[in-house]
Amino acid sequence: MDHFQYRDGKLHAEGVALDALAQAVGTPFYCYSTATLERHYKVFEEAIAGLNAGICYAIKANSNIAVLATLGRLGAGADVVSGGEMERALAAGIAADKIVFSGVGKTGDELHRALAAGVTHINVESFPELDILSAAAEATGRTANVAIRINPDVDAKTHEKISTGRQEDKFGIDLALARDAYARAAELPGLNVCGVAMHIGSQLTDLTPYREAYSRMAEFVGVLRADGFDITHLDMGGGLGITYGDEVAPTPEAYGTMVAETVGNLGCRLTFEPGRMISGNAGILVTRVIFVKEGLAKRFCIVDGAMNDLIRPTLYSAHHEIVPVSEPENDVELLEMDVVGPICESGDFIAKDRALPPLGSGDLLAVRTAGAYGAVMASTYNTRPLAPEVLVDGEDYAVIRRRFTVQDMLDLETLPPWLDSGTGAR
């Protein structure tokens, strides 16, 4: 469920008409619904209510500090995978002791800053990282609470580019090597080895891979405890899928039941890292039709949003529902068309062979389920300014990231002295 609905013939974000919003902020723009963010967080929270557990929202899904602050007020912590994401979480008011630092390539500087800030856990993903983390702990005079991320070699049966739990994926330490990693961690100063972490992929629509992976985690906890480790914390990762088109996604309730059945008897504090499940359906991308181009083989609806704004369709072959902002008549004849942007790439499309009502210059379209991995993956390719982000709360809205300008981009660049004479000559 989301809060983008038609009222009086116009698509609204909660109580705000999107055509009026487009007039105010221009297109393209991202729009997020506070009510949807809150509802999805609470649904997940209720699903794990019977467990000793906490929620650390995966910032990589949508890192706008207003979104983070909205979730933080509900009690969410943060799962971060870079020093920049940690700074975003702190700027949004999320306490450091509710931040988990994950990621396969943390630098010494990032780990130093994380320990100095007081993050609750570091999820270590390699043998070299153990040494770097130990050195950072000694340098800061802090003890790092460590969970080692194991790679259970479980295929999540999701898209190749978002699967993270197979041996051929770069993430975590192979389960067969993980026991040695814990032994190594126990020898290093400044490390409190207290947890096991796992994350097998994103957009999972089947609980079977989860069940297999979590069962292996439970068995491994038994092995570690037999080796003398006091394992008190399990990081369950995220990745629960949502509906973009005709998928049937598992409910949070079914997921919570499965977790209880696999690891609920271990007496551990559990951390969950939902991202897409919280923010995906809470956002849309609003774009305006430039014109419709009729070809011999195709009809192209060319819009002002492009792959630099939403790369998921071309990167993952992802499906996003597209609806007109002005509600079409029930009996309108639909036309098949590709919805494409102005970028000079054949891969610049939002949808292919999509049945839509007749469209003309100036019409507005809403690209649904764009609240996760949308704005965070945007670029300035073709020197296109980043689209603004807007947060709606009831009948109120605020621009939470302004639109970049071309001048903003030019201001980031400088000419070297030998080109700064105005002539371009050395």
Catalytically active residues are 344
Quote the tokens at residue 260.
């209880």
User: What is the DSSP code (8-state) at residue 407?
Assistant: H
147 by Cβ neighbours in 10 Å (0-12 / 13-18 / 19+) ranks as buried
* Residue 108 DSSP SS3: helix
Q: How far is CA 132 from CA 110, 125, 135, 171, in A?
A: 10, 12, 5, 17
User: What is the DSSP code (8-state) at residue 96?
Assistant: G
Name which of 200, 219, 199, 207 is nearest 265 in CA terms: 219
Who's near 7: CB < 8 A, 6+ residues apart?
17
Let me know: does 361 contact 395? Beta carbons within 8 Å.
Answer: no
* Residue 308 DSSP SS3: coil
Quote the tokens at residue 224.
């570690």
Q: How far is CA 127 from CA 103, 130, 149, in A?
A: 14, 5, 11
Q: How far is CA 20 from CA 36, 325, 369, in A?
A: 20, 11, 21
**Size (the chain), residues:** 426
Maximum Cα–Cα distance across the chain: 74
Do the strands 364-367 and 349-356 form a parallel or antiparallel pair, or are they unpaired? Answer: unpaired
Beta bridge partners of 144: 191
Let me know: does 108 contact 144? Beta carbons within 8 Å.
Answer: no
Q: Cα separation of 417 and 426, whole Å?
A: 9
